[in-house]
Chains A and B, each alone.
Chain A
Amino acid sequence: MKEQPSATRRQMLAAAGGLGLVLIVRPAQAQLQANPAALNAAIRQVTGGARLNKGRVHLDVPPLSENGNTVALGVSVDSPMTPEDHVKAIHVFSEKNPQPNIVSVRLGPRAGKAGITTRMRLADTQTITAVAELSDGSFWTETGHVIITLGACLEDVI
């Protein structure tokens, strides 16, 4: 009978130790590494190595999002959207998602305004890059940083 409480205490300590280990290990798993090589390769694929100019693009992302599964994303470009001078395409990239591409859209002078919104998934706190391709062949870019409390892709499926 005397053994019983001590065995329970041992189990309790072991369980507590295991819990501590889990708490230490979890954040290490959640911290994803940025993958600049994949990001640059994806950007080069749309620009063909052309120079990226900073500006003209406005990236509208929340500074902090609690849920990485739905993060609002808005991109607009300063452009008169005439047949001579318009935005041909907008591409959005992520640096820490398993795949760098988020969305690519094709626009034309009939759009009237180069502005789109959608919702994206983000695996972790990271910088988002938007690239706009103009009809004169130039590329413009803007980046925005989003802090994610709970990332997408990590939850278990039951």
Chain B
Amino acid sequence: MARALINVPAKARKGDVIEIKTLISHVMESGFRRTQTGEAIPRDIVTAFACTYNGEEIFAAQLYPAISANPFITFHTVATESGTFEFKWTGDNGFAATETAKIVVE
């Protein structure tokens, strides 16, 4: 299981725009590199990322080989209600990782 780091504020006021930071450990092998003997190294990247807030999708990203190793993505959302964020990464070779974070909205 790939290690993921999530930064979501623990508390927020209703209607606040909050910033969410995410990072997942992954090599993001671009598929354009070669070994010294000239063999192409097959692509192995995270291709998609999505974030849901109490079951509703609020953000989704499609990643390409031009994203650095250990993809780091930040985005914003409006704190509407207390609940959970679910983060999901999917990629080549059946890569899948999920992570959750809770928020209290007052």
**Is B64 part of the contact surface with A, judged by Cβ < 8 Å?**
yes
Within 8 A of B (CB), among A137-158: 152-153, 155-158
* Chain B interfacial residues counted at CB < 8 A: 33
Within 8 A of B (CB), among A57-110: 69-71, 94, 97-99, 101-108, 110
A118 contacts which of B18, B56, B71, B78 (Cβ < 8 Å)? B71
Within 8 A of B (CB), among A32-48: none
Contact of A99 with B59 in the complex, beta carbons under 8 Å: no
Q: How many CB-defined contacts (below 8 Å) exist between A and B?
A: 103
B30 contacts which of A118, A119, A121 (Cβ < 8 Å)? A121
Chain B nearest CB from A127 CB (Å) reads: 14
Contact of B59 with A107 in the complex, beta carbons under 8 Å: yes
A112 contacts which of B30, B35, B65, B76 (Cβ < 8 Å)? B76
Within 8 A of A (CB), among B55-90: 56-69, 71-78, 80
Contact of A105 with B60 in the complex, beta carbons under 8 Å: yes
B75 contacts which of A98, A111, A120 (Cβ < 8 Å)? A111
Chain A residues, Cβ within 8 Å of B34:
156-157
Residue of B nearest to A94 (CB): B66
Chain A residues, Cβ within 8 Å of B3:
none
Chain B residues, Cβ within 8 Å of A106:
59-61
**Is B13 part of the contact surface with A, judged by Cβ < 8 Å?**
no
**Is A31 part of the contact surface with B, judged by Cβ < 8 Å?**
no
17 A-B pairs with CB atoms under 8 Å apart are A94-B66, A99-B65, A102-B64, A102-B66, A106-B60, A110-B53, A110-B58, A110-B78, A111-B76, A118-B61, A118-B73, A121-B68, A156-B35, A156-B36, A157-B35, A157-B36, A157-B41
Supplied contacts A105-B59, A113-B76, 17 more A-B pairs, CB within 8 Å: A70-B68, A70-B69, A98-B32, A99-B65, A103-B63, A105-B60, A105-B62, A110-B56, A110-B58, A116-B73, A117-B73, A118-B72, A118-B73, A120-B68, A155-B33, A157-B33, A157-B36
Q: Which residues of B contact A (CB under 8 A)?
A: 17-18, 30, 32-36, 41, 53, 56-69, 71-78, 80
